Chain A
Amino acid sequence: MTAATQSLRWREHPLASAAAQRDRLHALGERYDFARPLADAGLWPLRAVGIDVLQINVGRLCNQTCAHCHVDAGPDRREVMSDEVFEACLALLIDGGIGTLDVTGGAPELYPRFRELVTRAAEAGKHVIHRCNLTAILLPRYADIPELLAQHDVEVVASLPYYLPKQTDRQRGDGVFDKSIEAMRRLNDLGYGTGGSRQLNLVTNPVGAFLPGDQGALTRDWRRELQRRYDVTFDHLFTITNMPISRYLEFLDDSNNLERYMDKLRGAFNPVAAKGVMCRSMLSIGFDGAIFDCDFNQMLEMPAKTVHGDDAPNITTLAPEDLVALLGKRGIETAPHCLGCTAGAGSSCGGAVT
């Protein structure tokens, strides 16, 4: 495989800095202020309704360097979750009464305690979601992971932007599509994506400066074409809007598409989608134990606030029940990038929200 790009960090690009990304978005002006359409919809200030999902980002290390990555992940990134944060995450999940663990990265498989994380969460009766790039599980050191996932009925949410090689490889790197199909076959052989309890759900992010189409219509096309051309199957297709941050922000800037894209997001603001945004029912934890409203805010280094309006404490510093009390009904931190989650049918880690 050949990488689609190199990380912003590796290239010492100014947008490697979260502050620079925030400044770039704010410099576009007040017309992309997220508070205004939210207020018009009667949703300002946006508040959490509870914590149904604990999403933990175990690190930035990835075997791919995708052109649109909001994490700026890649093989050069070495940040990884410490043992102390790992234990605090499991304690919050289990003792905090949170139903779902959503594991993301980087490529989570490359995290040394990934197997233990999945096993302990599943054995505690939690629903576990693994965000998979499909190619990491083909690497020899991680070849046992599909069986482990199957053993615990872990939901696999796998990235596949398009059902053809050209578009997929342009976003994710040369050769990624063929490897992805090989990984899907492997998962299908284990019963994944065949309509049973082993859920294989695909994620498509548009390969360019446009919004995703109707999730139902795209699902029919993806299902038909993947079956016909490659004889692979999946359960659901999630459409996810690209957020104007990190490497996707770089692409928008370099291609002179940023304002047009922001106009598109703003013009497609949907109050129904805004009501159902994922940040209202989840918490996002960084590899260093910092707490955020979502993975996008995490990358922009916009910490969650407690119900008292202070920055959320590190996950290692408080007992699970205290964290839930402080954060369960918190106000959500927003910025112009949030328009990405409320455009059209909405966008979340589980696809469209309406």
Chain B
Amino acid sequence: MSDTYYDPADLPKFDSVGEDAPELWKKFSQWYGAVFAEGALSEREKALIALGVSHAVQCPYCIDAYTQAALEKGSNMEQMTEAVHVAAAIRGGASLVHGVQMRNVHDHLSM
């Protein structure tokens, strides 16, 4: 057991999650691989999306993995920073848009 909840050395052990549910792990791995393969979007574009989502879900393993993947796929820091801003904007916007709900409640209660 490590002293912290997140340990960089745990990332390469990701596949150990499959040890007690091998069929589910196999399905996940195949699907995961297919998701990130070049398709209508390039692998580089998908890595940038994954980097943004990693920040939205605040997963340090994912941020480590997809910062590296984005660099390997040829992205630069300007593009990667914009991807993080997209994630931040969606998170901020998601909070703010609930202001409409606040307004609805306010209007319902107010004279």
Interface residues on B, range: 10 to 19
- Bound CA span A286–B74, Å: 33
When C-beta atoms are compared, the residue in chain A nearest to B44 turns out to be A217
Least CB distance, B1 to chain A, in whole angstroms: 23
B73 at the interface (CB under 8 A from A): yes
- Bound CA span A213–B71, Å: 8
Interface size on A, residues (CB 8 A): 17
Q: Mark A198-212, 1 if CB is under 8 A from B, else 0.
A: 000000001010111
- Bound CA span A206–B71, Å: 8
Q: A-B contact count, CB below 8 Å?
A: 32
When C-beta atoms are compared, the residue in chain A nearest to B8 turns out to be A260
Contact (Cβ within 8 A) B71 A208: yes
A162 at the interface (CB under 8 A from B): yes
Contact (Cβ within 8 A) A221 B74: yes
- Bound CA span A222–B44, Å: 13
Least CB distance, A224 to chain B, in whole angstroms: 11
CB within 8 Å of A: which B67-94 residues: 68, 71-74, 76
Contact (Cβ within 8 A) A217 B43: yes
Contacts of B10 in A (CB 8 A): none
A190 at the interface (CB under 8 A from B): no
8 Å CB contact of B76 from A162, A212, A263: A162
Contacts of A206 in B (CB 8 A): 71-72
Closest 6 CB pairs of A and B: A213-B73, A213-B72, A218-B74, A210-B71, A213-B74, A210-B72
Report A's interface with B, CB cutoff 8 A.
Answer: 162, 164, 166-167, 206, 208, 210-214, 217-218, 221-222, 263, 267
Q: 8 A-B contacts, Cβ less than 8 Å apart?
A: A164-B76, A210-B72, A213-B72, A217-B38, A217-B42, A217-B73, A218-B74, A221-B44
